Amino acid sequence: MTAQTTNGQNGSTGGAGHHTLYMVGAIVLAFLVAWLFPHFAASLEMGGEIFLRLLTMVVVPLVMASVMSGILGLGDVRKLGRPGAAAVGYYLSTTILAVVVGVIMVNLIRPGVGFEPPQHEQAAVEVADGALVLDGEMRDSSANPRQSDPRDWVEVTIDGEPYFLPAYEGVKTEPDIGTIFQGLVLMLFSDNLLHSMVDMQLLPLIVFSIIFAGMLTTMGERGKTLTTLLVSINEALLSFVMLLMRFAPLGIFCLVTSRFGEAFAAGEFVTQLKQLSWYVATVLGGLGIHFFLVLPGLLWFFTKRNPYQFIRQMSDALLTAFSTASSSATLPVTMECAEAKAGVSKQSTEFVLPLGATINMDGTALYEAAAAIFIAQIYAGVNPDFEFGLVQQVVIAVTATLAAIGAAGIPEAGLVTMLIVLNAVGLPIEYLPLILPVDWFLDRFRTATNAFGDSVGSAIVDRTFPVPTAAA
């Protein structure tokens, strides 16, 4: 294997600063255009869609090739023990920390106390024939969430349009934590590899890749050709991502302009933002604390890296996450930035980031806890019999953690898994449409937080990997 250690130097490193500036500029310009010419802006959707598809296109092969190449680089799957445990420990503890921040913020600000739900158009939600029908507004944020989620799905009709929600037991009946947990464990396994690839179910692909590459390392000479091929596929895919990133400012511009343009063109966005301003402030404040204080604190504590420099190095990934609202679509960029710009080792990015993009969602967890408690505060004002104390808050915290682990890395997946959290404490799902109007907006911030959590994880777990020897 050559060029293992100097991988970061090939390609975009030199122009990183300028490139990032272009991306920031693209987002600022996108806001302005969306605001001034909303109808024109909304018509840029196709450009954004193309960029999104190109990114999403590489996710499945990249995840498989990179996880395999990571294991092959280690030379022995058993060497994954310590870093594996560290990664899972990191994912869990930061998700819990995020939930705690969310719970504290929503209890301090109490955005739901005295909140008057908008009078006009009372949104109706009902569960009929196993389908959840929301008569509210929900954007067509994710064309088909089934693509990246292995659960059973129920068809849902919102304003006459079909949508799909996961058929968690919780959608229909009261879930118990055991059932949710069982669902999560089963998500790791697939009975059909091709099916998982087609549906972009990353978890079973990761499990397969670890086992497969682990076996390859035991095959000696017989596995050599395949090993070389896999490592080279991985490098080629990363070069593809680098090429794609040259168009990122344009892609991002189209994505952001068209989505904000759509919102401004509909004419209600600012009003909705004002109505929900305390709730929005709670979620954004919580995300801000987690993003700028908690995660940087952990990074500094464990690696002594300068966290704000690290944010700069990861900024392309963070801006892409903000623009796409999808951790899965952002994953290729996160990997490229972590390895080429932040200098995180290959093994660590190849293993920690794909898994993290799927199960480590700090922003989503924080949001689910805060949103559920916001709804509980409103409901408690309407229904004095509703008991909402410490126990319920703990149940919300636990289910929000599980719901975030189970959420797919696609736009507004967190809103869908919110159903589990609401059901767990007996909150009416009829209140979900209250937070719908601003969800696409908050989604961007939580996705950026998700991507940042993964990046910090890769840098921290990096330290627990065995020093590379003459492996592979």
Closest alpha carbon to 329 in 58, 48, 66, 61: 58
Candidate list 296, 406, 414, 453; residue touching ligand ASP; CB under 6 A: 414
- Residue 48 or 73: which CB sits closer to ligand ASP? 48
The piece of 71-79, 172-180, 231-239, 408-416 that touches ligand ASP (CB under 6 A) is 408-416
- Residue 69 or 364: which CB sits closer to ligand ASP? 364
* Segment (H or E) for 155: strand 153-158
Asked if residue 285 binds ligand ASP (CB under 6 A), the reply is no
**For residues 430 and 442, what is the distance between their CA atoms, to the nearest angstrom?**
20
Closest alpha carbon to 342 in 313, 318, 365, 369: 313
| 3 state DSSP class of 158 | strand
- Residue 27 or 329: which CB sits closer to ligand ASP? 329
Asked if residue 318 binds ligand ASP (CB under 6 A), the reply is no
Which residue number is nearest to ligand ASP in terms of Cβ?
414
Tokens linked to 168? 């968690």
Asked if residue 364 binds ligand ASP (CB under 6 A), the reply is yes
- Residue 38 or 409: which CB sits closer to ligand ASP? 409
The secondary structure of 107-134 as a DSSP string is: HHH-TTTT----SSS---EEEETTEEEE
Candidate list 227, 313, 320, 326; residue touching ligand ASP; CB under 6 A: 326
β-strand partners of 464 = none
- Residue 11 or 437: which CB sits closer to ligand ASP? 437
Window 429-448: residues binding ligand ASP (CB under 6 A): 443, 446-447
**For residues 450 and 358, what is the distance between their CA atoms, to the nearest angstrom?**
10
Left, alpha or beta for 411 (phi > 0: left; psi -120 to 50: alpha)? beta
CB of 468 to ligand ASP, least distance (A): 30
CB of 279 to ligand ASP, least distance (A): 16
Asked if residue 196 binds ligand ASP (CB under 6 A), the reply is no
Tokens linked to 204? 């079973």
Please name the residues in contact with 63: beta carbons below 8 A apart, sequence gap of 6 or more.
202, 205, 206, 209, 331, 354
- Residue 206 or 325: which CB sits closer to ligand ASP? 325
CB of 440 to ligand ASP, least distance (A): 9
What does each C-alpha distance from 27 to 22, 246, 402 come to in angstroms?
9, 15, 33
Asked if residue 316 binds ligand ASP (CB under 6 A), the reply is no
- Residue 196 or 330: which CB sits closer to ligand ASP? 330
Candidate list 56, 227, 327, 358; residue touching ligand ASP; CB under 6 A: 327
**For residues 420 and 203, what is the distance between their CA atoms, to the nearest angstrom?**
20
Asked if residue 358 binds ligand ASP (CB under 6 A), the reply is no
Please give the radius of gyration of the chain, using alpha carbons only, rounded to the nearest integer. Answer: 22
Tokens linked to 54? 């190109």
Asked if residue 334 binds ligand ASP (CB under 6 A), the reply is no
Assess contact for 316 and 333: CB atoms under 8 A. yes
Asked if residue 410 binds ligand ASP (CB under 6 A), the reply is yes
Asked if residue 199 binds ligand ASP (CB under 6 A), the reply is no
Closest alpha carbon to 431 in 390, 391, 381: 381
Candidate list 166, 409, 437, 453; residue touching ligand ASP; CB under 6 A: 409
CB of 149 to ligand ASP, least distance (A): 11
Q: Using CB under 6 A, count the residues that bind ligand ASP.
A: 16
Asked if residue 399 binds ligand ASP (CB under 6 A), the reply is no
3-class SS letters over 27-83: HHHHHHHHHHCHHHHHCCHHHHHHHHHHHHHCHHHHHHHHHHHHHHHHCCHHHHHHH
CA trace torsion 299, 300, 301, 303 (10° rounding): 70
Asked if residue 412 binds ligand ASP (CB under 6 A), the reply is yes
**Between helices 277-289 and 432-462, what is the axis angle to 10°?**
10
* Segment (H or E) for 300: helix 295-303
The piece of 73-81, 92-100, 171-179, 323-331 that touches ligand ASP (CB under 6 A) is 323-331
The piece of 51-59, 150-158, 160-168, 411-419 that touches ligand ASP (CB under 6 A) is 411-419
- Residue 71 or 248: which CB sits closer to ligand ASP? 248
**For residues 290 and 370, what is the distance between their CA atoms, to the nearest angstrom?**
13
Please name the residues in contact with 36: beta carbons below 8 A apart, sequence gap of 6 or more.
none
CB of 325 to ligand ASP, least distance (A): 5
Phi, psi of 127 (to 5 degrees): -105, 115
CB of 66 to ligand ASP, least distance (A): 19
Asked if residue 286 binds ligand ASP (CB under 6 A), the reply is no
Asked if residue 411 binds ligand ASP (CB under 6 A), the reply is yes
Candidate list 361, 400, 424, 460; residue touching ligand ASP; CB under 6 A: 361
CB of 393 to ligand ASP, least distance (A): 21
Contact positions toward ligand ASP, by CB under 6 A?
Answer: 325-327, 361, 364, 407, 409-414, 443, 446-447, 450
